[in-house]
Structure 1
Amino acid sequence: MITFFESDLEHISVHKVGNKVQDEYFTLSDSTLHIQDEFLRNLLMQYFLKPFEKVNEVYRFMHSSDLALNEIYHFASQIFKDTTNFHELSQQITRHLYDISNHPKIKSGEVYIALFHDVQIEGELHQALGIFKSETKETYMKVYPDAGGFALTYEQEAINIQKLDKGCLILNTDKEEGYKVVVIDQTNKTQEAAVYWKDDFLKLKIRNDNFNQTNNYLSLYKNFVNEKIDEQFEVSKPDKIDLLNKSIKYFKEKEQFDFNEFSEEVIGNETAATSFKAMVQNFEQEFDTPIGERFDISTQAVKKQSSAYKTVLKLDKNFHVYIHGDRQLIENGFDDSKGMNYYKIYYKEEK
């Protein structure tokens, strides 16, 4: 999604933010960093931008009443308008991050505010404002020649440039719609503290493009098959896997999604199709994210979801059966003499 081989770093300021509820404080630097070392400059570009190469989801800034009242949207707009105030605005961004750092599990860390030019997203080059936070520190050993041999030393509280903890890139395009924003959050993924970066600090909503329409539909269908469908039907695990396989096959082979076609070719049951449609509509209303009954299919989203679709039949602790094709080639039953369930699998050759 993001490429940066043509990019360069224009400005960077570094500050530090503690946890407000833990009575930690923030520290603001007096001026921007002036980096003369080209090697260090390249390391920073790799550290800040490389993690976004595999990010597909694009967000927009949002606000319940007026977009201009979104703090980070406002600060970004001011920087894009006039970079002479970059450092002062980076301090205001840091103060805002500190003000919302009010969950006990939020970690303290350094905050980097950086301005880049010629960052590419979706084939176009844009100026970009980056906000990054390093929370995780590691210890590194260093080996160096000494007196005809070698010696060891170490450095504590060092930053691994291969692991960006939190970050966002705000691309200077589509301002009226809330800019294009991409996000990284590698820490506290399953904890309540995780929401503070994307929801409390940035206040983002997902951009409703064909990637997210495809991604949402496949996620909803997977949940429908694995959880919801049991409320109305008795469906065996092989049949569930078959339904999932058919859905992935449909999305891989088609260029455009059509709900009526999908219902007929994949779901194959009117009652189940109606139930799934209601599930989609509930999602649209709850998250204010319309998907629609027709949209262009994103191959990137299909690829992402394919890896999350489980087509494995787990039998006790003895066997894992991977079902990729014809459901009719597997039968199940019960053996009275052994008092156990069984599956019978048909095939032409063994490889």
Structure 2
Amino acid sequence: MAAAVVGGIPAAAAADFHDYTLGDFYSLAKVEESVVHDSSEAVVRFPTASGFFVDPDGLILTNHHVYESFGDSGRVWRRWVGDGSEQALEVELVTRDREHDVALYRVTDPAKAGPFPFLELRDTPVHHGEAVFVLGHPRGKPLRASFGTILADELTIGGRPSIEYSAQTWWGSSGSPVIDEQGRAVAIHWGWDSKGVSNGRLTGVPAVKITDLPGFTALGRADAPPTLRPSECDAHGWALRSNMVREAARQNDSGKWLDQVEVRALHPTPGCADQLDSVTYTLHPTFADPVETLDGDAALTLYTWGSFDATVKVRLDDGGSVTFVDRVSWK
């Protein structure tokens, strides 16, 4: 009989993790359980962190704070176990969510197309005492496993939905999957909170919260269509266009003349303006309202006397977003 498939990885019978010491890391050579070895096929090493495949077409989940150091594109390695057999992969950003500390990348190298082994994201909550294990690259080491149990769930830590567990992690474990006995990812590890609710326990964002986010809803499902691809509008190319409105200048309270300027976020690809959900402009701090959010591709009207740099966040209808800095300049 063929093995059942859960998330692209063969399902396994419930494992017994009691033989492993709490707080220790184990190389795969020292682990017997097949569910750990099968799950390890989906784990990815970033230069200073970890991640894992969440669909067969090459989508990789990691933390937003990993994105902040890694950037929009770069190289990762699948199944880095220290024997030289790892697979190098070029990836690019699809979408990200700072509040939940998650970021999504996809493999871009056409010579290394999928299907890739991936982890199903569990769609039910964890429960206290449940056995779990973590796979990742603590201290940048070859792939390591650690074992523990769920200590708490339904927490909010630093404004982020979280669970706590006793399976060990370390620097480099950010983005690691927290996995149940059936090989399903129940959370993505993000760190710890030494002074807050968690009292120093290790913490992750639960999978059931990630799949509620725009742009992440189809992840980790065996039946998910391969539609999560970044459009050209998600990529670089956004810029500001600033136009002065003729004969519309006015004086401020001190008598200084201010030009009326209309500002829009534009992309060279036709149709991108139609995909805009909203645009947030962070202006020079001297403005009375330095942060303005407009729906769609509406123009922002300003009265100003000089050029300045603005930070702009473009949000798209498909849940993607792009942040860029450009100069408001019309003279």
Q: Same fold (TM over 0.5)?
A: no
From the two aligned structures, give the one with the greater strand fraction: 2
More helix by share: 1
TM-score (norm 1): 0.26
Rg comparison, structure with higher value: 1
Q: What's the TM-score once normalised by structure 2's chain length?
A: 0.27
